[in-house]
Chains A and B, each alone.
Chain A
């Protein structure tokens, strides 16, 4: 069982969550070119190691939060209480 540390609910089974993908800065909607949008949409970093991701606790508090995770070991770094 892989545990995901939800900042509101504590460590919970990964099956309760929805994985939203890597967290990357969204381009400015007013000025971004199509190429910038496609880059944002299609090109993840896909690192083997630590990555910053967005997760959604769909079967719990139903909050989105940012998580640091190692894609090699699946270990998460608890994010602490959100500000």
Chain B
């Protein structure tokens, strides 16, 4: 059931052609290192691939230090180098790159949010994701599947209509469809009226899809390293030195670094890192669990989300079904999975797709979400000069990786927040100007 366009997507050469038509960054293109010809040559010769980037020694000073080697931190480093020519940058991570939320999310991309600020922002991210494989010369396996948000009651149907209107005003492909159309798109879905929560309609967002999240992290890391950015994994920040309200440096387990600019991109740990600089953030850390089944034959093309049943499901290119749910019911830094999650998830998935009752779960895991009071991120400067934040990404950070990196790079280069993230400043909480994004995933509302 793999459609023709999906095979096309897997050939890197075709991605490169698509990107030449619509380049997001005007720069010289080399022949792709991982193009079809290169893959064939390596496949025949059997030689191992050379390392994609080299480990660098930790210097005692950098122009910019980014804490957090996930998609946000690495994208910011990449765009600092490519868009602004700032290459004296270090990315620090206490674990390995992509070990946090970037490697634990369910890799869903969409831009059908509820507020105009949110829609505009996430749509820019979708634009960047569309040409990312060619921009980074790394196959990130973006698969445009179509995204369905199911409505099981009148109030969610009303919210779907509201979202569709806001989306269409912003030029996003988004509409409300009826159960017959849903059944046509996802034949295995139980759309009968006899279920506990009958499906009344859905918000359909054709450009939505899934991507390989590890490849996005590695692609950004490799492209940033090629520009001269230093990536230091296994390097934990233990302190941030400030003097007279300005950042002076960062202390790490591998040595001290003098720097005038620090970007905090540490998601679930962001309040702990900000506290080192004396900055308080309106964030509470909640675990979010996900699970994956054994691989089965491709049968589910679209991404299906049900807010009422607290579940979202998609099928990867390998055939595994990836499930996500709501954030855990209480704050915690623990990433242990719970039986309650697996039980609740199974109940809800089988309500949606009874045919899945015999499919076995392979594993479950959990990531830390930095939840803000208004389900919107916190981006930009702080009261401490040179200390920037790109945090509060809760359950929606992965899809925003590219645009956040681009915007934060601009923010650091210009010293002030660009227009696209003005609404997301830290000052909005003191001023009582919350954004109120009810289109966010995995939050009960």
Binding site for B on A (CB under 8 A): 1-2, 14-15, 18-19, 21-22, 34-35, 38-39, 41-46, 48, 51, 53, 71-74
A-facing residues in B260-302 (Cβ within 8 Å)? 269, 271-272, 280-285
B373 at the interface (CB under 8 A from A): yes
Q: State the CA gap A2–B341 with chains docked (Å).
A: 12
B333 at the interface (CB under 8 A from A): yes
Q: State the CA gap A20–B33 with chains docked (Å).
A: 53
Seed contacts A19-B331, A46-B281; 17 additional CB < 8 Å A-B pairs: A1-B339, A2-B338, A15-B329, A19-B330, A22-B284, A22-B331, A38-B429, A39-B430, A41-B373, A42-B282, A43-B429, A44-B282, A46-B271, A46-B285, A71-B334, A72-B332, A72-B334
The reply to whether A48 and B333 form a contact with Cβ atoms under 8 Å apart is yes
Write out the residue numbers on chain A whose beta carbons fall within 8 Å of the beta carbon of B432: 34, 38
Would you list 22 pairs from A and B whose C-beta atoms are within 8 A, ordered by A residue? A2-B338, A14-B329, A18-B329, A19-B330, A19-B331, A22-B284, A39-B430, A41-B373, A42-B373, A43-B281, A43-B429, A44-B284, A46-B272, A46-B284, A46-B285, A46-B331, A48-B272, A71-B334, A72-B333, A72-B334, A74-B334, A74-B336
* Per-residue A-contact encoding for B337-369, CB less than 8 Å = 1, 0 else: 011100000000000000000000000000000
Could you tell me the dominant secondary structure of chain B's interface residues? Answer: loop
B271, B283, B330, B333: which contacts A14 (Cβ < 8 A)? B330
Write out the residue numbers on chain A whose beta carbons fall within 8 Å of the beta carbon of B285: 46, 48, 71
Q: State the CA gap A15–B340 with chains docked (Å).
A: 8
Interface size class of B (residues with CB under 8 A): 20 to 34
Q: State the CA gap A71–B339 with chains docked (Å).
A: 19
Closest to B336 in A: A74
The reply to whether B329 and A73 form a contact with Cβ atoms under 8 Å apart is no
Could you tell me the dominant secondary structure of chain A's interface residues? Answer: mixed
The reply to whether A71 and B282 form a contact with Cβ atoms under 8 Å apart is no
Question: What 9 A-B pairs have minimum CB-CB distances, sorted nearest first?
Answer: A19-B330, A42-B282, A46-B271, A42-B429, A48-B333, A44-B284, A42-B373, A43-B282, A72-B333
Distance of B120 from chain A, by nearest CB (Å) = 24
Distance of A1 from chain B, by nearest CB (Å) = 7
A14, A15, A35, A46: which contacts B430 (Cβ < 8 A)? A35
Binding site for A on B (CB under 8 A): 269, 271-272, 280-285, 329-334, 336, 338-340, 373, 429-430, 432
Q: State the CA gap A74–B336 with chains docked (Å).
A: 10
Write out the residue numbers on chain A whose beta carbons fall within 8 Å of the beta carbon of B430: 35, 38-39
Write out the residue numbers on chain B whose beta carbons fall within 8 Å of the beta carbon of A74: 332, 334, 336
Q: State the CA gap A12–B332 with chains docked (Å).
A: 18
Write out the residue numbers on chain B whose beta carbons fall within 8 Å of the beta carbon of A18: 329
Write out the residue numbers on chain A whose beta carbons fall within 8 Å of the beta carbon of B334: 71-74
Q: State the CA gap A39–B132 with chains docked (Å).
A: 40
Closest to A15 in B: B340
Distance of A71 from chain B, by nearest CB (Å) = 5
Distance of A49 from chain B, by nearest CB (Å) = 9
Write out the residue numbers on chain B whose beta carbons fall within 8 Å of the beta carbon of A45: 271
Closest to A34 in B: B432
Write out the residue numbers on chain A whose beta carbons fall within 8 Å of the beta carbon of B281: 43, 46
The reply to whether B332 and A71 form a contact with Cβ atoms under 8 Å apart is yes
Write out the residue numbers on chain B whose beta carbons fall within 8 Å of the beta carbon of A43: 280-282, 429
Q: State the CA gap A74–B283 with chains docked (Å).
A: 19
Write out the residue numbers on chain A whose beta carbons fall within 8 Å of the beta carbon of B332: 71-72, 74
Q: State the CA gap A35–B331 with chains docked (Å).
A: 25
Q: Are A71 and B333 also in contact (CB < 8 A) when A1-B339, A41-B373 are?
A: yes
Q: State the CA gap A35–B428 with chains docked (Å).
A: 11
Q: State the CA gap A74–B284 with chains docked (Å).
A: 15
Q: State the CA gap A43–B430 with chains docked (Å).
A: 10
Q: State the CA gap A51–B330 with chains docked (Å).
A: 12
Write out the residue numbers on chain B whose beta carbons fall within 8 Å of the beta carbon of A1: 338-340
Distance of B332 from chain A, by nearest CB (Å) = 5
Distance of A32 from chain B, by nearest CB (Å) = 14
Write out the residue numbers on chain B whose beta carbons fall within 8 Å of the beta carbon of A2: 338
Closest to B270 in A: A46
Write out the residue numbers on chain A whose beta carbons fall within 8 Å of the beta carbon of B340: 1, 14-15
Q: State the CA gap A39–B445 with chains docked (Å).
A: 23
Q: State the CA gap A35–B429 with chains docked (Å).
A: 9
Write out the residue numbers on chain A whose beta carbons fall within 8 Å of the beta carbon of B333: 48, 71-72
Distance of A23 from chain B, by nearest CB (Å) = 12
Distance of B146 from chain A, by nearest CB (Å) = 35
Write out the residue numbers on chain A whose beta carbons fall within 8 Å of the beta carbon of B330: 14, 19, 53
Q: State the CA gap A22–B283 with chains docked (Å).
A: 12
